[in-house]
Amino acid sequence: MKNVIVTGGLGFIGSNLVELLIRDGFRVINIDKITYSSNFYNVKEFENTKYYKFIKCDIGDKKLEKIIIKFKPVCIFNLAAETHVDRSIDSPEDFIQSNIVGVFRLLEVFKNYSKKKKCKLIHISTDEVYGDVLVGRSSEKYAYQPSSPYAASKAASDHLVSSYVRTYKIPAIVTNCSNNYGPKQHPEKLIPKLIYNIINNKPLPIYGKGTNSREWIYVKDHCEALIKIFKKGKVGEFYNIGSNKNLNNLQVTKELLNISKKMVNLGKNVKISFVKDRPGHDVRYALNSDKIKKTLRWFPKTTFKDGIKLTFDWYYKNKSYYKSISKKDIIKRLGKTWLRKELF
Protein backbone atom coordinates (compact mmCIF):
# COMPACT_ATOMS: atom_id res chain seq x y z
CA MET A 1 0.00 0.00 0.00
CA LYS A 2 1.46 3.35 -1.07
CA ASN A 3 1.48 6.32 1.28
CA VAL A 4 0.36 9.83 0.37
CA ILE A 5 0.41 12.93 2.56
CA VAL A 6 -2.44 15.41 2.69
CA THR A 7 -1.66 18.64 4.52
CA GLY A 8 -4.70 20.41 5.92
CA GLY A 9 -6.63 17.16 5.83
CA LEU A 10 -9.00 18.10 8.66
CA GLY A 11 -10.42 20.92 6.57
CA PHE A 12 -13.14 20.94 3.94
CA ILE A 13 -11.41 20.02 0.69
CA GLY A 14 -8.65 18.13 2.47
CA SER A 15 -10.99 15.75 4.30
CA ASN A 16 -12.97 15.05 1.13
CA LEU A 17 -9.68 14.31 -0.66
CA VAL A 18 -8.60 12.00 2.18
CA GLU A 19 -11.82 10.03 1.72
CA LEU A 20 -11.36 9.59 -2.04
CA LEU A 21 -7.68 8.66 -1.73
CA ILE A 22 -8.51 5.94 0.80
CA ARG A 23 -11.20 4.60 -1.51
CA ASP A 24 -8.59 4.59 -4.27
CA GLY A 25 -6.36 2.27 -2.24
CA PHE A 26 -3.86 4.68 -0.70
CA ARG A 27 -2.85 5.03 2.91
CA VAL A 28 -3.25 8.68 3.86
CA ILE A 29 -1.05 10.52 6.33
CA ASN A 30 -3.08 13.55 7.36
CA ILE A 31 -0.94 16.47 8.57
CA ASP A 32 -2.87 19.35 10.12
CA LYS A 33 -1.86 21.96 12.70
CA ILE A 34 -5.50 22.13 13.96
CA THR A 35 -6.96 25.59 13.51
CA TYR A 36 -10.52 26.86 13.96
CA SER A 37 -11.53 25.32 10.60
CA SER A 38 -10.03 21.89 11.34
CA ASN A 39 -12.60 19.34 12.42
CA PHE A 40 -12.14 15.71 13.44
CA TYR A 41 -15.81 15.19 12.58
CA ASN A 42 -14.69 15.29 8.95
CA VAL A 43 -12.56 12.14 9.25
CA LYS A 44 -14.40 10.14 11.90
CA GLU A 45 -15.43 7.37 9.49
CA PHE A 46 -11.86 6.24 8.81
CA GLU A 47 -9.75 7.61 11.67
CA ASN A 48 -9.39 4.19 13.30
CA THR A 49 -8.57 2.26 10.15
CA LYS A 50 -5.21 1.05 8.84
CA TYR A 51 -5.61 3.31 5.80
CA TYR A 52 -5.36 6.51 7.79
CA LYS A 53 -3.01 8.23 10.23
CA PHE A 54 -3.27 11.70 11.70
CA ILE A 55 -0.27 13.75 12.81
CA LYS A 56 -0.55 17.21 14.33
CA CYS A 57 2.02 19.38 12.58
CA ASP A 58 2.34 22.78 10.94
CA ILE A 59 3.93 22.68 7.47
CA GLY A 60 6.38 25.23 8.83
CA ASP A 61 7.53 22.94 11.66
CA LYS A 62 10.96 21.33 11.57
CA LYS A 63 9.50 17.90 12.35
CA LEU A 64 7.77 17.85 8.95
CA GLU A 65 10.96 16.58 7.34
CA LYS A 66 11.14 13.62 9.74
CA ILE A 67 7.50 12.75 9.02
CA ILE A 68 8.07 12.77 5.26
CA ILE A 69 11.23 10.66 5.53
CA LYS A 70 9.49 8.15 7.81
CA PHE A 71 6.38 7.58 5.68
CA LYS A 72 8.00 7.90 2.22
CA PRO A 73 4.96 9.31 0.40
CA VAL A 74 4.60 9.04 -3.36
CA CYS A 75 2.70 12.32 -3.35
CA ILE A 76 2.12 15.31 -1.09
CA PHE A 77 -1.12 17.23 -1.59
CA ASN A 78 -0.71 20.66 -0.02
CA LEU A 79 -4.03 22.02 1.21
CA ALA A 80 -2.66 23.60 4.38
CA ALA A 81 -3.74 27.23 4.13
CA GLU A 82 -5.76 30.03 5.61
CA THR A 83 -8.59 30.39 3.12
CA HIS A 84 -11.28 32.84 4.17
CA VAL A 85 -11.14 36.24 2.47
CA ASP A 86 -12.98 38.05 5.28
CA ARG A 87 -10.47 36.86 7.85
CA SER A 88 -7.61 37.93 5.58
CA ILE A 89 -9.03 41.45 5.56
CA ASP A 90 -9.20 41.45 9.36
CA SER A 91 -5.86 39.72 9.99
CA PRO A 92 -3.61 39.45 6.90
CA GLU A 93 -0.51 38.44 8.87
CA ASP A 94 -1.94 34.97 9.58
CA PHE A 95 -2.28 34.45 5.84
CA ILE A 96 1.26 35.58 5.11
CA GLN A 97 2.67 33.18 7.69
CA SER A 98 0.61 30.15 6.66
CA ASN A 99 0.23 30.59 2.91
CA ILE A 100 3.64 32.02 2.04
CA VAL A 101 6.15 31.26 4.81
CA GLY A 102 4.58 27.85 5.44
CA VAL A 103 4.77 26.92 1.75
CA PHE A 104 8.39 28.08 1.63
CA ARG A 105 9.25 25.74 4.54
CA LEU A 106 7.44 22.87 2.83
CA LEU A 107 9.27 23.51 -0.44
CA GLU A 108 12.64 23.44 1.31
CA VAL A 109 11.85 20.05 2.85
CA PHE A 110 10.40 18.69 -0.38
CA LYS A 111 13.39 19.90 -2.39
CA ASN A 112 15.69 17.67 -0.36
CA TYR A 113 13.33 14.71 -0.15
CA SER A 114 12.52 14.61 -3.88
CA LYS A 115 16.23 14.24 -4.70
CA LYS A 116 16.23 10.87 -2.94
CA LYS A 117 12.71 9.51 -3.45
CA LYS A 118 10.20 9.62 -6.28
CA CYS A 119 7.40 11.89 -5.13
CA LYS A 120 5.13 14.60 -6.54
CA LEU A 121 3.95 17.76 -4.84
CA ILE A 122 0.46 18.96 -5.78
CA HIS A 123 -0.01 22.52 -4.58
CA ILE A 124 -3.71 23.40 -4.42
CA SER A 125 -4.61 27.03 -5.08
CA THR A 126 -7.59 29.15 -6.09
CA ASP A 127 -9.20 31.02 -8.97
CA GLU A 128 -9.07 34.17 -6.82
CA VAL A 129 -5.44 34.73 -7.85
CA TYR A 130 -6.72 35.88 -11.26
CA GLY A 131 -8.87 38.63 -9.75
CA ASP A 132 -11.93 40.01 -11.50
CA VAL A 133 -12.77 38.33 -14.80
CA LEU A 134 -15.59 40.49 -16.06
CA VAL A 135 -15.69 38.97 -19.55
CA GLY A 136 -14.78 35.48 -20.72
CA ARG A 137 -12.82 32.95 -18.66
CA SER A 138 -9.27 32.97 -17.31
CA SER A 139 -6.96 30.28 -18.68
CA GLU A 140 -3.67 29.18 -17.13
CA LYS A 141 -1.93 31.88 -19.19
CA TYR A 142 -4.03 34.66 -17.65
CA ALA A 143 -2.04 37.16 -15.54
CA TYR A 144 -2.44 37.03 -11.77
CA GLN A 145 -4.26 40.08 -10.37
CA PRO A 146 -5.20 39.22 -6.76
CA SER A 147 -7.50 41.63 -4.94
CA SER A 148 -7.53 40.44 -1.30
CA PRO A 149 -4.74 39.60 1.14
CA TYR A 150 -5.88 35.97 0.88
CA ALA A 151 -5.64 35.91 -2.92
CA ALA A 152 -2.30 37.71 -2.83
CA SER A 153 -0.88 35.18 -0.36
CA LYS A 154 -2.00 32.28 -2.56
CA ALA A 155 -0.58 33.97 -5.67
CA ALA A 156 2.75 34.36 -3.90
CA SER A 157 2.78 30.68 -2.90
CA ASP A 158 1.96 29.62 -6.48
CA HIS A 159 4.90 31.66 -7.75
CA LEU A 160 7.15 30.15 -5.09
CA VAL A 161 6.25 26.63 -6.21
CA SER A 162 6.77 27.54 -9.85
CA SER A 163 10.16 29.08 -9.08
CA TYR A 164 11.30 25.93 -7.26
CA VAL A 165 10.25 23.83 -10.24
CA ARG A 166 12.37 25.93 -12.57
CA THR A 167 15.34 26.57 -10.29
CA TYR A 168 15.60 23.33 -8.32
CA LYS A 169 13.76 20.98 -10.72
CA ILE A 170 11.34 19.75 -8.07
CA PRO A 171 8.46 17.59 -9.36
CA ALA A 172 5.56 19.87 -8.48
CA ILE A 173 2.25 20.90 -10.04
CA VAL A 174 -0.01 23.88 -9.22
CA THR A 175 -3.80 23.69 -9.46
CA ASN A 176 -6.27 26.59 -9.40
CA CYS A 177 -9.85 25.69 -8.60
CA SER A 178 -13.11 27.60 -8.59
CA ASN A 179 -15.48 27.92 -5.59
CA ASN A 180 -16.01 24.57 -3.90
CA TYR A 181 -19.19 23.52 -2.11
CA GLY A 182 -20.34 20.28 -0.54
CA PRO A 183 -20.23 18.32 2.74
CA LYS A 184 -17.87 19.21 5.60
CA GLN A 185 -17.34 22.89 4.76
CA HIS A 186 -16.90 25.28 7.67
CA PRO A 187 -19.99 27.50 8.07
CA GLU A 188 -18.03 30.72 7.76
CA LYS A 189 -18.42 30.10 4.01
CA LEU A 190 -21.55 31.12 2.12
CA ILE A 191 -23.42 27.89 1.39
CA PRO A 192 -23.06 26.09 4.76
CA LYS A 193 -23.79 29.41 6.50
CA LEU A 194 -27.00 29.82 4.52
CA ILE A 195 -28.05 26.23 5.25
CA TYR A 196 -27.38 26.74 8.98
CA ASN A 197 -29.51 29.87 8.98
CA ILE A 198 -32.33 28.23 7.03
CA ILE A 199 -32.43 25.32 9.49
CA ASN A 200 -32.45 27.77 12.41
CA ASN A 201 -34.90 30.23 10.82
CA LYS A 202 -32.42 33.12 10.74
CA PRO A 203 -31.91 35.89 8.14
CA LEU A 204 -29.67 35.06 5.19
CA PRO A 205 -26.87 37.67 4.93
CA ILE A 206 -25.83 38.51 1.37
CA TYR A 207 -23.13 41.00 0.42
CA GLY A 208 -24.16 44.13 -1.48
CA LYS A 209 -26.89 43.35 -3.98
CA GLY A 210 -25.97 39.66 -4.28
CA THR A 211 -24.73 40.07 -7.85
CA ASN A 212 -21.15 38.83 -7.31
CA SER A 213 -20.73 35.79 -9.55
CA ARG A 214 -18.74 32.65 -8.78
CA GLU A 215 -18.07 29.41 -10.62
CA TRP A 216 -19.34 26.61 -8.36
CA ILE A 217 -17.84 23.12 -8.33
CA TYR A 218 -18.86 20.16 -6.18
CA VAL A 219 -15.97 19.30 -3.87
CA LYS A 220 -15.72 15.63 -4.85
CA ASP A 221 -15.35 16.60 -8.53
CA HIS A 222 -12.45 18.81 -7.51
CA CYS A 223 -10.84 16.01 -5.50
CA GLU A 224 -11.17 13.56 -8.38
CA ALA A 225 -9.37 16.09 -10.56
CA LEU A 226 -6.54 16.35 -8.02
CA ILE A 227 -6.07 12.58 -8.00
CA LYS A 228 -6.02 12.49 -11.79
CA ILE A 229 -3.43 15.29 -11.84
CA PHE A 230 -1.28 13.33 -9.39
CA LYS A 231 -1.45 10.23 -11.57
CA LYS A 232 -1.24 11.77 -15.04
CA GLY A 233 -0.43 15.46 -14.71
CA LYS A 234 2.76 16.93 -16.14
CA VAL A 235 5.33 18.26 -13.68
CA GLY A 236 5.74 22.03 -13.78
CA GLU A 237 2.30 22.67 -15.22
CA PHE A 238 -0.61 24.73 -13.90
CA TYR A 239 -4.12 23.25 -14.19
CA ASN A 240 -7.40 25.14 -13.81
CA ILE A 241 -10.23 23.08 -12.32
CA GLY A 242 -13.75 24.40 -12.79
CA SER A 243 -17.33 23.49 -13.59
CA ASN A 244 -18.05 26.17 -16.19
CA LYS A 245 -21.18 26.97 -14.15
CA ASN A 246 -21.50 30.51 -12.81
CA LEU A 247 -24.18 31.70 -10.41
CA ASN A 248 -24.32 34.88 -8.37
CA ASN A 249 -24.83 34.84 -4.60
CA LEU A 250 -28.49 35.77 -4.82
CA GLN A 251 -29.18 32.94 -7.27
CA VAL A 252 -27.44 30.46 -4.96
CA THR A 253 -29.47 31.70 -1.99
CA LYS A 254 -32.79 31.42 -3.81
CA GLU A 255 -31.90 27.92 -5.02
CA LEU A 256 -31.16 26.83 -1.45
CA LEU A 257 -34.47 28.26 -0.25
CA ASN A 258 -36.33 26.39 -2.98
CA ILE A 259 -34.59 23.13 -2.12
CA SER A 260 -35.21 23.49 1.61
CA LYS A 261 -38.91 24.09 1.03
CA LYS A 262 -39.25 21.08 -1.27
CA MET A 263 -37.07 18.64 0.67
CA VAL A 264 -37.89 19.34 4.31
CA ASN A 265 -40.48 22.13 4.29
CA LEU A 266 -38.10 24.67 5.80
CA GLY A 267 -37.27 28.28 4.95
CA LYS A 268 -40.76 29.58 4.18
CA ASN A 269 -40.41 32.50 6.57
CA VAL A 270 -36.67 33.07 6.20
CA LYS A 271 -35.75 36.43 4.71
CA ILE A 272 -32.74 37.53 2.70
CA SER A 273 -30.83 40.40 4.32
CA PHE A 274 -28.46 42.46 2.17
CA VAL A 275 -25.42 43.59 4.17
CA LYS A 276 -22.55 46.02 3.61
CA ASP A 277 -20.32 44.71 0.85
CA ARG A 278 -16.86 43.28 1.46
CA PRO A 279 -13.97 45.72 0.79
CA GLY A 280 -12.40 45.05 -2.60
CA HIS A 281 -15.04 42.43 -3.43
CA ASP A 282 -14.36 40.93 -6.87
CA VAL A 283 -17.37 40.97 -9.15
CA ARG A 284 -16.81 37.75 -11.06
CA TYR A 285 -14.50 34.73 -11.21
CA ALA A 286 -14.61 32.35 -14.15
CA LEU A 287 -12.10 29.69 -15.19
CA ASN A 288 -11.25 28.20 -18.54
CA SER A 289 -10.66 24.52 -17.73
CA ASP A 290 -10.11 23.29 -21.28
CA LYS A 291 -6.52 22.22 -20.56
CA ILE A 292 -7.33 19.54 -17.97
CA LYS A 293 -10.25 18.34 -20.05
CA LYS A 294 -8.20 17.98 -23.23
CA THR A 295 -4.94 16.64 -21.77
CA LEU A 296 -6.12 14.53 -18.82
CA ARG A 297 -9.71 13.81 -19.87
CA TRP A 298 -11.15 15.04 -16.59
CA PHE A 299 -14.70 16.39 -16.57
CA PRO A 300 -16.94 17.48 -13.67
CA LYS A 301 -19.67 14.92 -13.04
CA THR A 302 -22.01 16.80 -10.71
CA THR A 303 -24.41 19.49 -11.90
CA PHE A 304 -25.07 22.37 -9.53
CA LYS A 305 -28.71 21.29 -9.25
CA ASP A 306 -27.70 17.81 -8.08
CA GLY A 307 -24.73 18.95 -6.01
CA ILE A 308 -26.63 21.54 -4.01
CA LYS A 309 -29.30 18.96 -3.18
CA LEU A 310 -26.62 16.54 -1.97
CA THR A 311 -25.05 19.33 0.05
CA PHE A 312 -28.26 20.46 1.74
CA ASP A 313 -29.20 16.85 2.46
CA TRP A 314 -25.81 16.18 4.12
CA TYR A 315 -25.98 19.20 6.43
CA TYR A 316 -29.62 18.54 7.30
CA LYS A 317 -28.86 14.93 8.22
CA ASN A 318 -25.62 15.90 10.00
CA LYS A 319 -26.82 18.71 12.24
CA SER A 320 -24.32 17.44 14.80
CA TYR A 321 -21.63 18.78 12.45
CA TYR A 322 -22.64 22.31 13.39
CA LYS A 323 -22.54 21.34 17.07
CA SER A 324 -18.92 20.24 16.60
CA ILE A 325 -17.99 23.85 15.76
CA SER A 326 -17.85 26.81 18.10
CA LYS A 327 -21.01 28.87 17.82
CA LYS A 328 -18.79 31.94 17.71
CA ASP A 329 -17.19 30.61 14.51
CA ILE A 330 -20.57 29.82 12.97
CA ILE A 331 -22.08 33.29 13.36
CA LYS A 332 -18.97 35.24 12.40
CA ARG A 333 -18.86 34.33 8.73
CA LEU A 334 -18.40 37.97 7.79
CA GLY A 335 -15.46 40.17 8.74
CA LYS A 336 -15.42 41.19 12.39
CA THR A 337 -14.30 44.79 11.91
CA TRP A 338 -16.86 46.03 9.43
CA LEU A 339 -19.94 43.80 9.66
CA ARG A 340 -23.36 45.05 10.69
CA LYS A 341 -23.49 42.95 13.85
CA GLU A 342 -27.20 43.44 14.42
CA LEU A 343 -27.91 40.73 11.83
CA PHE A 344 -26.93 38.12 14.37
CB contact at 8 A, 34 and 58:
no
CA–CA separation, 84 vs 328, rounded Å?
15
Question: Is the per-residue pLDDT at 78 higher than 60?
Answer: yes
Average pLDDT over residues 105-129: 98
Instruction: Return the amino acid letter for 174.
Output: V
pLDDT tens digits for 198-238?
Answer: 999 999 999 999 999 999 999 999 999 999 999 999 999 99
Question: Is the per-residue pLDDT at 158 higher than 90?
Answer: yes
CB contact at 8 A, 216 and 300:
no
Instruction: Check 19, 58, 86, 128 and give the catalytic one.
Output: 128
pLDDT grade for 327, boundaries at 50, 70 and 90? low
Q: What is the pLDDT of residue 330?
A: 59
pLDDT tens digits for 246-275?
Answer: 999 999 999 999 999 999 999 999 999 999
Closest alpha carbon to 59 in 40, 37, 82, 42: 82
Q: What is the pLDDT of residue 102?
A: 96
Average pLDDT over residues 275-296: 96
Instruction: Check 150, 207, 218, 285 and give the catalytic one.
Output: 150
pLDDT grade for 333, boundaries at 50, 70 and 90? very low
Question: Is the per-residue pLDDT at 342 higher than 90?
Answer: no
- Comparing 52-56, 86-90, 133-137, the range with the smallest average pLDDT is 86-90
Instruction: Check 19, 32, 127, 255 and give the catalytic one.
Output: 127
Average pLDDT over residues 23-46: 96
Strands (DSSP E) contained in the chain are: 3-7, 27-32, 52-56, 75-78, 120-126, 172-177, 179-181, 204-207, 213-218, 238-241, 246-248, 272-275
Q: What is the pLDDT of residue 328?
A: 61
Known catalytic residue at 86 = no
Specify the pairing of strand 213-218 against strand 246-248. Answer: antiparallel
Known catalytic residue at 128 = yes
DSSP assigned state of 41: G
- Comparing 153-162, 263-272, 277-286, 320-329, the range with the smallest average pLDDT is 320-329
Quote the percentage of the chain above a pLDDT of 70. 95
Known catalytic residue at 130 = no
Q: What is the pLDDT of residue 326?
A: 73
Question: Is the per-residue pLDDT at 343 higher than 50?
Answer: no
Q: What is the pLDDT of residue 141?
A: 97
**Domains plus CATH for the chain?**
3-181+216-241 (3.40.50.720), 190-213+246-282+303-333 (3.90.25.10)
Q: What is the mean pLDDT of the chain?
A: 94
Q: What is the pLDDT of residue 335?
A: 52
Quote the percentage of the chain above a pLDDT of 90. 93
336 or 155, which is more confident: 155
Closest alpha carbon to 144 in 154, 135, 292, 134: 154
DSSP assigned state of 141: T
